[in-house]
Each structure stands twice: as structure tokens, then as C-alpha cells.
């Protein structure tokens, strides 16, 4: 059987390749094929920042992409995602040095001394060595994976683009749940939907005590008629869970013991099951795998998850 040490290494490599595939679809030159998975730029930025100490080239590609395309990123949404997913992960916060990430996303704040003092030394060393390598090309907006950025090019970098992205998946949902799924303020989402309902761009359907909103396909402007979105996926949550899985396998206190790894994975199993469901993969019930059997079950399943994104 494959050794645990080799498995951890291979899983991390899959995780890093997953990020490279996404950046490749965004116009970063790479030998790794483009992802066919829908891209959420804020989720990808947070996750890439988090994994940066394990792949400097990946982090540098992100920084170079930002130099040309920062105007397509919502810093306020990044803050909302970080606030929402503030849950502690294996003794460490979901995203280390969040203030540094926010600084990096703002105009002209890449290199020390532009950045604040007392930042994580791993990041300061990486940033000290950064220089653009000319690996970023123009964003290929016609890629079907980049619906979010295409919509932002039409509606601007605000809640409107992400509301449209959500509704293009043919969902009907109330304003509160839409806001929660797309990480925008509920009042803003409610106001936008009400205005769109008045202009007949969306339909509001009363269901019990709530109003469910959906796109009025007949009122969609010409530029949007050919834009399609697959099933909506909560990418920040997806990346959050994937990051926690990697953390479990690479935390020294327990990452050499299948039983302890199983225990940690068991506490996360509901979330793991949810993200498998998001991409139409199924897991058996946790109770079917007592003790360290859960580790041996998931070690076969996790590569499928990482390779499909």
C-alpha cells in the first residue's frame, strides 16, 4: 500500500496543480492544462495566498496577474469571505495574515516597505524576491470558466455581477440566502433584486413568508443571452474545506497516525460530504467507517475531488 508520507506529498501536489489549472484559465502561462471548472476569483486569491509558502512560483503568478487585473477583484468581497469563514482550522485561522492579503489586493502595495511591519516572515521573504516574469497574458474572457469576470466587465465589480451569476444557474432563492451564498451584504442584494423586479429583469415569486427570485429570461439583454452558468457552487466554502483537508494531512502533531487523521477528518466529514455533493460526487455515511477506516476510505476518494476542480 502507498505510504502515508508519499500520499501526503501527492495530495499536496494535486492541491497545488488545482490552483495552477485555475490560474492557467485566467491567462497565466503554465505547462499545466487549464481548468474547466468555474472560477471564483476571490476564492482563488484567498486560497493561493494561503498556500503561497509551499509554492512561491504560484504566488508570484498571482501577484503578476493582479498587477494587470486588480480592477476585476472585489476587496470588500474578500473581506466578507474571510469574516464569514473565520472558523478556526486545526489551531490556525483559515487564512494567515489576512491584513497582508488585503494590502496586497490594494493598488501599489506589493513590495516592502509599502506593506505593514511585523508580517509573517515567510511572506516577507517571498515578497522581497518578487519580480514579474512576463507570464500573464490577457484574460481570455470567452472561456466558459470565466463567467464571473465577464459579468463584472458588463455590470462592474459589485454585487450585481455575482447576483446574475447565481441566478444564471436557474435557481430560485430569497435575498437572504443569495447574499449568504455570494458573500455580499443582504441589504445590498435585497435592494438590487427589488429594483430588478420593478424593471422586470427578475421575477419575485411569493412562497410562504419569503419571496423567491429568478431571472426573467425574456428580459435578458442581448449580451447576456449566450452566457450560461452551470450549477452554482459556493467556491469560498469549497476552497475553505479543501484547505482544511490539506492542513490535517500536514499538521505535525497528528499527521503520521491514520487514527488521528481519521479523527480530524471525522470532525470535518459533514463539510467534506457537502463539497463532494457540490460537484456531483457521493460519499458513504461516516458511521460505516469506524476508527482509522475513515482515513483509508477517504484516501481513495480525495484525489478524485482534487483532480476534478
Q: What is the pLDDT of residues 27-72, one digit of tens each?
A: 999 999 888 889 999 999 999 999 998 999 999 999 999 999 999 9
Q: CA 143 → CA 41, 63, 184, 292, distances in Å?
A: 14, 21, 25, 42
Task: Express each pLDDT in 99-118 by its tens digit.
Answer: 888 888 886 656 555 555 56
Cell matching residue 253: 502533531
Task: Express each pLDDT in 130-187 by its tens digit.
Answer: 888 899 999 999 888 999 999 999 899 999 999 999 998 878 999 999 999 999 999 9
Q: Is residue 173 a contact partner of residue 213, using CB atoms and an 8 Å limit?
A: yes
- The pLDDT > 70 percentage for the chain reads 88
Indicate the burial class of 150 (C-beta count within 10 angstroms; 0-12, 13-18, 19 or more): buried
What's residue 88's pLDDT? 42
Measure the CA–CA gap between 225 and 227, rounded to whole angstroms: 6
Measure the CA–CA gap between 128 and 235, rounded to whole angstroms: 30
What's residue 300's pLDDT? 93
What's residue 109's pLDDT? 59
Q: Is residue 302 a contact partner of residue 273, using CB atoms and an 8 Å limit?
A: no
Cell matching residue 297: 476510505
Q: Is residue 246 a contact partner of residue 11, using CB atoms and an 8 Å limit?
A: yes
Mean pLDDT of the chain: 88
Give me the residue spans of the domains in the chain: 145-225
What's residue 91's pLDDT? 40
What's residue 235's pLDDT? 94
Q: What is the mean pLDDT of residues 186-190?
A: 96
Note the CATH number of domain 145-225: 1.10.10.10
Instruction: Read off the pTM.
Output: 0.91
What's residue 97's pLDDT? 75
Q: What is the gyration radius of the CA atoms in the chain, in angstroms? A: 20
What's residue 232's pLDDT? 83
Q: Is residue 265 a contact partner of residue 245, using CB atoms and an 8 Å limit?
A: yes
Using DSSP, state whether 223 is helix, strand or coil: helix
Q: Which residue blocks in the chain are alpha helix, DSSP H?
A: 4-25, 41-51, 56-69, 75-84, 98-105, 121-128, 147-155, 159-167, 175-182, 186-198, 222-225, 235-249, 258-267, 269-278, 293-308
Q: CA 228 → CA 38, 96, 150, 234, 289, distances in Å?
A: 11, 35, 11, 17, 40
| Residues whose CB falls within 8 Å of the CB of residue 28, separated by 6 or more in sequence, listed in order | 20, 61, 64, 65, 135, 136, 137
Amino acid at each position: 500500500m502507498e505510504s502515508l508520507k508519499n500520499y501526503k506529498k501527492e495530495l499536496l501536489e494535486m492541491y497545488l496543480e488545482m490552483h495552477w489549472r485555475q490560474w492557467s484559465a485566467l491567462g497565466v502561462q503554465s505547462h499545466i492544462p487549464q481548468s474547466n471548472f468555474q472560477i471564483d476569483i476571490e476564492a482563488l486569491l484567498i486560497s493561493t495566498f494561503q498556500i503561497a509558502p509551499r509554492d512561491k512560483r504560484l504566488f508570484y503568478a498571482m501577484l503578476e496577474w493582479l498587477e494587470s487585473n486588480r480592477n476585476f477583484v472585489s476587496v470588500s468581497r474578500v473581506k466578507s469571505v474571510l469574516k464569514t469563514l473565520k472558523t478556526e482550522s486545526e489551531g490556525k485561522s483559515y487564512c494567515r495574515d489576512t491584513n497582508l492579503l488585503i494590502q496586497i489586493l490594494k493598488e501599489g502595495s506589493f513590495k516592502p516597505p509599502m506593506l505593514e511591519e511585523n508580517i509573517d516572515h515567510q511572506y516577507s521573504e517571498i515578497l522581497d524576491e518578487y519580480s514579474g516574469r512576463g507570464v500573464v497574458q490577457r484574460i481570455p474572457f470567452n472561456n466558459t470558466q470565466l463567467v464571473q469576470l465577464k459579468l463584472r466587465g458588463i455590470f462592474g465589480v459589485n454585487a450585481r455581477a455575482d447576483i446574475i451569476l447565481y441566478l444564471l444557474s436557474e435557481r430560485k432563492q430569497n435575498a437572504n440566502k443569495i447574499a449568504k451564498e455570494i458573500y455580499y451584504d443582504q441589504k445590498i442584494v435585497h435592494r438590487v433584486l427589488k429594483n430588478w423586479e420593478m424593471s422586470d429583469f427578475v421575477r419575485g415569486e411569493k412562497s410562504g413568508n419569503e419571496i423567491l427570485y429568478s431571472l426573467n429570461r425574456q428580459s435578458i439583454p442581448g449580451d447576456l443571452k449566450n452566457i450560461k452558468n452551470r450549477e452554482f457552487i459556493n467556491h469560498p466554502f469549497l476552497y475553505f474545506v479543501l484547505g482544511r483537508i490539506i492542513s490535517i494531512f500536514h499538521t505535525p502533531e497528528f499527521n503520521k497516525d491514520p487514527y488521528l487523521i481519521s479523527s480530524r477528518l471525522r470532525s470535518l466529514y459533514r463539510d467534506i460530504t457537502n463539497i463532494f455533493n457540490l460537484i456531483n460526487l457521493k460519499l458513504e455515511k461516516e458511521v460505516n467507517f469506524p476508527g482509522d477506516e475513515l482515513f483509508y476510505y477517504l484516501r481513495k476518494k480525495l484525489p478524485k475531488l482534487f483532480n476534478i476542480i
